[in-house]
């Protein structure tokens, strides 16, 4: 498409947008009656208007039936999980029984490492990206210490080359080959939170498994953002939160994917809890753990039903919009953002923005990370003052993520226009 840097053109794209009505499904932050431009779906997605009703239904069940809501609510809580796994499976590309909606992201990562990080002999190392999200770093650090290893020896970090901001795929693959006899686990962010880089998960998985390592991904910035095919890629496990692109609320319930080849493995080591016990005989309260033969067998305790309800409300919006439609608009919306930002950069006597997010379509999602070469914090502060919600990351990066369900092409144009005025 031949883009134009004009308000009329942006409005034309919005008029032609098949998803244009879905913005009305969300509560847009306002100040003095004026809507803000919210480009922070990479940090916390906006609230669907229907969320309150879904949560209130659970509150009403609780008031009416008490604990009997698990069996006698209009939609029994005991079966509520299936309302989440069906739509979620389409978003991450797997079978519904390969999903368990539970806990939060860091807890789930620890639980997955119990099962999939099984160091033996010289095969005890974990390969990850340098400067992974801090929670992932701390999780890996403390987990290898739990096994008696020094993190400096057990954790191998892949860094960008000198003068570069992203990690080359060939460098990831080379590191796997270099340490193929020592690797117990490869654990990367599907999308790096800082740069917005998408890793080649399929190729990485294939090579790492050939080397004898297990493979997992933290999909906090990928789930609900980019196309995923976890089952067909044969990924061993993955974890993600649901409060970013999945719009399920602050601290919302997270989820795990576990490939179904592990579901019947009686030798699988895991931390167990009552809610992961075989559902048909759970209430016999027998001694000896007998897991459900699905990813639900990794559940621990009784689910947080209000969080389930909030998640379900958000997933329902995705279902109605259609995941393919969302992905199509995301690509066009982000392409228009790149175009507008290039126009801004070209209008200056010298470039003021260095883009650290890869440009290739399959190497980025919604997020664009801009390394500001001058006046970064000043520009960020002024954008926020003018009603543009973006994100600051030290030392000089502004992150923004136009989300296809509720952001518009007009907002992208306005952002570029305002940025140029500030400059």
Average pLDDT over residues 200-210: 98
Domain 7-47+323-422 indexed as CATH 3.90.1150.10: yes
Contacts of 272 (CB under 8 A, 6+ apart): 289, 291, 300
Average pLDDT over residues 204-211: 98
pTM equals 0.96
Please tell me the predicted confidence (pLDDT) of residue 282: 87
- Say whether pLDDT at 335 is over 90: yes
DSSP tag of 29:
-
Domain 55-319 indexed as CATH 3.40.1160.10: no
Nearest 5°: phi and psi at 69?
A: -60, -25
Helix (H, G, I), strand (E, B) or coil at 240: strand
Summarised one tens digit per residue, pLDDT across range 83-99 is: 999 999 999 999 999 99
Nearest 5°: phi and psi at 157?
A: -105, 135
Angstrom distances, CA of residue 69 to CA of 20, 59, 72, 101, 131: 37, 10, 5, 19, 45
Sign of the C-alpha dihedral computed for residues 31, 36, 40 and 46 taken in this order? positive
Place of tokens 């847009």: 28
pLDDT interval class at 268 (50, 70, 90): very high
Please tell me the predicted confidence (pLDDT) of residue 1: 84
* Cα–Cα–Cα angle for 1, 357, 325, rounded to 5 degrees: 45
Summarised one tens digit per residue, pLDDT across range 62-77 is: 999 999 999 999 999 9
Summarised one tens digit per residue, pLDDT across range 357-401 is: 999 989 999 999 999 999 999 999 999 999 999 999 999 999 999
Average pLDDT over residues 226-251: 98
Summarised one tens digit per residue, pLDDT across range 21-51 is: 999 999 999 998 899 999 999 999 999 999 9
Angstrom distance (rounded) from CA 400 to CA 403: 10
Domain boundaries, given as residue ranges, for the chain:
7-47+323-422, 55-319
């Amino acid at each position: 498409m031949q883009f134009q840097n004009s308000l009329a053109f942006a409005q034309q794209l919005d008029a032609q947008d098949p998803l244009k009505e879905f913005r009305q499904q969300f509560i847009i932050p306002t100040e003095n009656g004026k809507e803000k431009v919210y480009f922070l779906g990479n940090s916390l997605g906006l609230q669907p208007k229907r969320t309150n009703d879904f949560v209130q239904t659970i509150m009403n069940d609780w008031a009416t039936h008490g604990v009997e809501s698990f069996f006698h609510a209009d939609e029994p809580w005991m079966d509520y999980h299936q309302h989440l796994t069906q739509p979620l499976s389409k978003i991450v590309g797997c079978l519904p029984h390969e999903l368990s909606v539970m806990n939060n992201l860091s807890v789930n990562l620890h639980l997955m490492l119990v099962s999939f990080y099984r160091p033996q002999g010289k095969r005890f190392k974990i390969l990850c990206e340098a400067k992974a999200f801090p929670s992932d770093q701390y999780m890996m650090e403390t987990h290898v210490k739990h096994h008696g290893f020094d993190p400096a020896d057990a954790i191998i970090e892949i860094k960008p080359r000198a003068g570069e901001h992203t990690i080359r795929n060939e460098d990831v693959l080379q590191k796997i080959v270099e340490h193929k006899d020592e690797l117990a686990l490869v654990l990367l962010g599907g999308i790096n939170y800082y740069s917005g880089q998408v890793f080649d998960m399929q190729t990485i998985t294939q090579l790492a498994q050939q080397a004898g390592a297990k493979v997992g991904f933290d999909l906090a910035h990928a789930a609900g953002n980019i196309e995923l095919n976890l089952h067909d890629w044969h990924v061993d496990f993955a974890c993600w939160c649901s409060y970013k692109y999945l719009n399920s609320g602050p601290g919302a319930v997270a989820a795990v994917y576990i490939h179904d080849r592990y579901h019947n493995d009686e030798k699988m080591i895991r931390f167990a809890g009552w809610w992961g016990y075989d559902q048909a005989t759970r209430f016999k309260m027998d001694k000896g753990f007998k897991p459900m033969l699905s990813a639900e067998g990794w559940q621990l305790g009784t689910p947080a039903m209000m969080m389930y309800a909030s998640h379900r409300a958000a997933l329902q919006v995705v279902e109605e919009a259609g995941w393919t439609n969302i992905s199509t608009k995301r690509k066009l919306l982000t392409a228009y953002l790149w175009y507008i930002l290039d126009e801004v950069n070209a209008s200056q006597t010298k470039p003021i923005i260095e883009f650290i997010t890869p440009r290739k379509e399959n190497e980025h999602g919604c997020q664009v990370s801009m390394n500001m070469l001058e006046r970064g914090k000043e520009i960020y502060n002024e954008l926020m003052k003018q009603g543009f919600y973006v994100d600051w990351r030290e030392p000089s990066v502004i992150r923004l993520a136009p989300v296809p369900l509720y952001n518009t092409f007009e907002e992208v144009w306005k952002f570029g226009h305002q940025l140029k005025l500030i400059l």
